[in-house]
Structure 1
């Protein structure tokens, strides 16, 4: 099957959200009951009869990697971390002293809730025989070599890690500047450190630590370059969506940050043990003043607290009136101290809308362009929520007839969207529960300029006959399909090929063949009305078509998803030139296999290789198509797709017909599988047909081509 790993991650988020509450955690934990947990004292390891060697953390990290330790040795340290909040997962961090440590260590464990056995500050002894040092993401860690990875198995933890029966220290964070964090201090990875006079950057302001089930990076900054409006030093803060504090809003002031020091490859990062370790917001001395402002970037108060004071309320219709007469692609800045409160009617949850959402009030709807992906993960951007928008400083732009809110930045990186780092200045959660979005009912002939931006419902529509059998989009492109009512009026449906509806890409889902109702956003392009659906279930076409007929989609008469690896007898592999041949792989996709051809081994090689399907009968068929998906990486010749009714056994002597299939064109990355579309096989009706994929490469360029989800459909 075609792989959309991001979709499975998304499903995981939704399932997880059922178990993770949105309440605020106060970080006041009960002390774990350690009475029945095993412990030891230092003299156990110093007794001659026990025959232990003592290694320092530095000694241990200097040992050969990925080699099981055979010496009877132990290390000791103090637990610097706690996983009670859930932000740290299956990892125990220790340091060699509770104050001014010189070495830290990452211990990888296949267990959770380690705080119940090894609370922060506990002195621990780790017997390292049968364990091993390995490196993950540039960090040396202690674990155990197992078929499942390099974590110490949960059942083995009691055999290796022991808490001191008497000693539990107060871990005093080691103070580092960000400059010190990013220099030769890798020996301190795993230690609890403190960074002073820092703040979360503008992109993090007014957001939560992490969306449910998602691990995300936020950024803290130190020092401020006023001339260039940037921090002199920054560091990554890694937050888990499973942390008890994930749904809390990030502190908006400047102050002191405590966290576990780590890194991933070359990027240094920090993990929060608990939110109470952050002293970056709030009136700490009770005098009514938040001492954490002004911020380094000049903000004098918490920017996330929306107030109507000094602002004049405007409606969506008022906003559009500010741009009355604006020429296409023209811009006008909003200079008044205005705000609008409107309900979010559509967001980017499926990717059919990208980096924008629509809002609507009683007077109309409008698009808001925002330079941030996955807006739907943020609570303030959920469909049905009321959003407060401060308008001063924003721009209204006429985009081919549609008025939209955004910025004046035309760079490709921003594309007239509100800048990521400035979202907090303009868009505010109204802090009320989401309400049902009510669609305005229209017919095609009733659509007017006042409906542009609105969430509407149109009843009794169907796709035109020419679109039946097509998918909602072609490849990754944004495609047009045509809807009509029973009197012949038509309107365009626009769908992005990058949209994911449920488990499938829009480019793999055939348009609905019946008649029914559609819920959609109205847009306009050069005087032509267009509809956009945020979800596939916004189309409910379950009734017979206008002429009373029931459309039956083409049946699959042959398919192969290469699911088990290897080619069955249905496929012929022909090597004409070069040492490489077609094969199957599941790299990066677990148990899901696909066909792959790559002419690069050490260097590019000249190749010509064919992958040819079995003969499939189209006898008695009146319509037939072939459909498959492709993925390409690296520069090289395009894959060629052919069909034949009379394969001779030799590609060179066979008469081939080249097929106009849509192929992936993104050579920069794997994973963006593209549907071929329904490639017509009308020339082979009543005959036997074989489909062939021809791969070629040269000594200067050899792309990697992958094929999956091969289907021939007919009726």
Structure 2
């Protein structure tokens, strides 16, 4: 018995130790393995490590070749899915992201735990301006391979969680960069009026999403949440208070990452959201401009209005989700920008997109790519209120103001201007000089194989395009000047005159010479594209004189080809088309007949059209239409009170569209023009009194779509003007146009 008792006494301590060890294991079977604290000598602070990278020029990937050891406490957790394959650590100087190719890192590196990084042999890079530690993936900076983690990452002692630094959005710290990748608490905020009724992430989200926190003064910060977050479907807290999280930045825009939904302690009463779009106000004048709310509800492409807002960013693509708030310089766009009621707006639902037309003063002076200092600038813009990038917006901006009093518009030109070479036109060997008699914004210029001038919205004009020499007709027996031209918004032949002079000196002001209107042999079309032959005498300078006094008499004039040649009897004025025997009033509605590769027969208004043989619905050809608010139109005879079926097919290019691509823009007309109750516009279903539609045809890019609607011709109607428009950067294909009377 004595020996057995001695055995019990010997075994007892081992049993107790085993029980204690077992009890410890049961307390947290999945908890992190926490060592007592290895003896590791730290050589650099995290800030010093970051400085090594920036002093090296912030390369895409920097190899750490010296012996560097850093340490910090873990402030992130991937347990709830909002952080993925990375940990954030911070020391007393700053924080940093450590990218590791391993999941469930919270089991090895708990919040508050000390972690040491042997950085030699690792790499550094950055994303969106955030400096990161990691490894190499496919020859580029990426995550540290899982097999290498044990060689570089050392788990240390568990400490208390880092206390967050309080952040006041009204008074951000001067050393804000040092607080990136650290644990902070943003105080006195709530989720914005636009977001607070949402969930953390939309149910159908395929990537991380932003929600906006705002304070009472309108200062904001984004809360970014992964679509893999376990709390993504939870409703956002709707009150006010504070949100703790990891402070981040993407290209200068502050962001916050929470570890779990409980990090948002928003239980106080909501305050008024100063970032909410204000109620509509203003009348659209410079003295009383529309605000964003008013501009949204007064979309009318036929009206030019003033809108006031703050420049807050631009779009890098052709859709709303490419909006880049707060970005200026090389990463911004030069062709567009966004304005908002609030100078610090980041929410894409509260912005107003702005098209900056090529050559405009607004584009030259306001675009954020070339004028980074204009970010947050208050501006007044005068343009056409219509959708842009699928949002209510403003296009064709003609002038602007930065003080609400002084207007800035495109520069004006007078006197001798840049010459136009015959090679700038199509099939032309005659060179031209350009002269503006009066100071004006527009003048004759050449591009895409034609010379062009349009004074609409730009005041009075008298712009001349004059042959550089007299026209040589010595070898011709019946000489004519054959001119292929395109006239749109036609206001009279006296506004677009083709003249000849025998006493012009070849330089200087042409208006001091004697000019005679050249006689037309045949007919000259009063709209669309056509070829006209003018009688031509020896030793004659020829000139194209464009005039207008205001918008009401401003035509658009393009000269495509000018050549001296023998008169051809059949070419002047074209031929009368034959009506379709099946009752279709549209002539050449299937585009099987073409006067040239850019002009379908029988159509009166033709802009940016090309013959297309690959993407076709019927027959051999369709009409390819490149956008930019360009039109294709034809007028047919109708009878008042009769019912007509209008139909056609269209195809929107899948790689060139933005959701506001194509519209029908037709109208029943009487003897005095368009009837007030005769509009057929937008998607074709709006009230016929709507002269400015808000709708577009359903694009469904990459597929042929059919438009088919019936309409009753109003009293006094005798014609229907059929027009379709292609907008912005879209490319559309048209085929199978038909207008038929429906027999009662």
Q: Please confirm whether the aligned pair reaches a TM-score higher than 0.5, indicating the same fold.
A: no
**Higher RCO (CA 8 Å, separation ≥ 6 residues):** 1
Bigger Rg over Cα: 2
Relative to the length of structure 1, the TM-score reads 0.36
Relative to the length of structure 2, the TM-score reads 0.34
